[in-house]
Chain A
Amino acid sequence: MQTVIHVGLSGHATAFLLDEDGYGSLRRYFERARAGLARDPDRDEILRDLEQSIGEKLAVLPHAGGQVLAGREVDSVLAQVGTVDPGNGNGQARHAPSMRPRRFCRIEQGQWISGVCAGLAMRSGLRVGWVRAIFVLAAIFTSGLMVLAYLALVLALPVLQTRDEYEDMCRLSP
């Protein structure tokens, strides 16, 4: 037995008859569109416009009048309408903050010696106390080799004044 689903689309007085596949495709299309337009202030209006267009295209299919539309017919109409591209509609989406790669720096705010550990703590998300403890232990177990590594880091890493500066750099730098 075939399942038939009656679907009402914005602006269209008569319901469309879809089989399960067709209904599934349509529902997934609108779920994706709704998610894509989540930041768009006119989301609901755009979704209604899309419903109306999809309805107009379904209505002119060869046997739309009263017959059940199959999944592939719905898919072909959805392909004509195209995936929703929120980037063009919503300026915010294009500038949405994204996770930037974090960098190694020395940070002078709260430094003990030169801020290497403070920088590594910011980079790794560990507490600065732990990072210092690891350095001290590593310096003991490597009989001073870690001290050389520390000095190399002092010379190699760029310096920032504050932790806020570090956060800004992560947010703004490409």
Chain B
Amino acid sequence: MDAGKSGALRKGLLEFVVLAVVSSGRAYAADILQRLGDTEFATREGTLYPLLSRMRRERLLDYEWQESDSGPPRKYYRLTPNGRRQLAAFRTYWKSLTRLIDELGTPPCKP
């Protein structure tokens, strides 16, 4: 697939991918980056921090500070109930999209 087109698609999906990663439990920014590191959605702090901060403003995520053994305290992110609803809605929407695309690709039933 054309790298530019798939890049734009990935960029739009990143927010939902981050929701999915954080949904599995509390996550520190480095955990999120590491989890995405060897996937299609590998990203870096320069992109992730502005995104996390917008998602927090939209009340999809919340964070709490926690001391770290090796260095300064860290922000641990988790989903808010609103974030959970958003993720569930996105998963349903994504399934309906893939089903639609599959259906559009197959020829209509012959009589």
Contacts and interface: CB of A to CB of B under 8 A. Distances in A.
A45 interface: yes
Contact of A45 (B15, B43, B53): B53
Interface in A2-58: 10-13, 33, 37, 40-42, 45-46, 49-50, 52-53, 55-56
A52 B72 contact: yes
| Most chain A Cβ neighbours within 10 Å, of B30, B50, B56, B72 | B50
Contacts of A89: 49-51, 53-54
Contacts of B11: 87-88
A85 to B, nearest CB: 4
A81 B46 contact: yes
A82 B30 CA distance: 14
A46 B50 contact: yes
Interface of B is mostly: helix
Interface in B21-69: 29-30, 43-47, 49-51, 53-54, 56-57
Given A11-B72, A59-B71, A88-B14, A80 B49 contact: no
A91 interface: yes
A84 interface: yes
A82 B53 contact: no
Given A11-B71, A33-B46, A84-B46, A42 B57 contact: yes
B50 A40 contact: yes
B73 A11 contact: yes
B59 to A, nearest CB: 13
Interface of A: 10-13, 33, 37, 40-42, 45-46, 49-50, 52-53, 55-56, 59, 80-91
Interface of B: 11, 14-15, 29-30, 43-47, 49-51, 53-54, 56-57, 71-73, 75
Given A42-B56, A46-B49, A85-B50, 18 more contacts: A13-B72, A40-B53, A42-B54, A46-B50, A49-B29, A49-B49, A49-B53, A50-B45, A53-B49, A82-B47, A85-B46, A87-B11, A88-B15, A88-B54, A89-B49, A89-B51, A89-B54, A90-B50
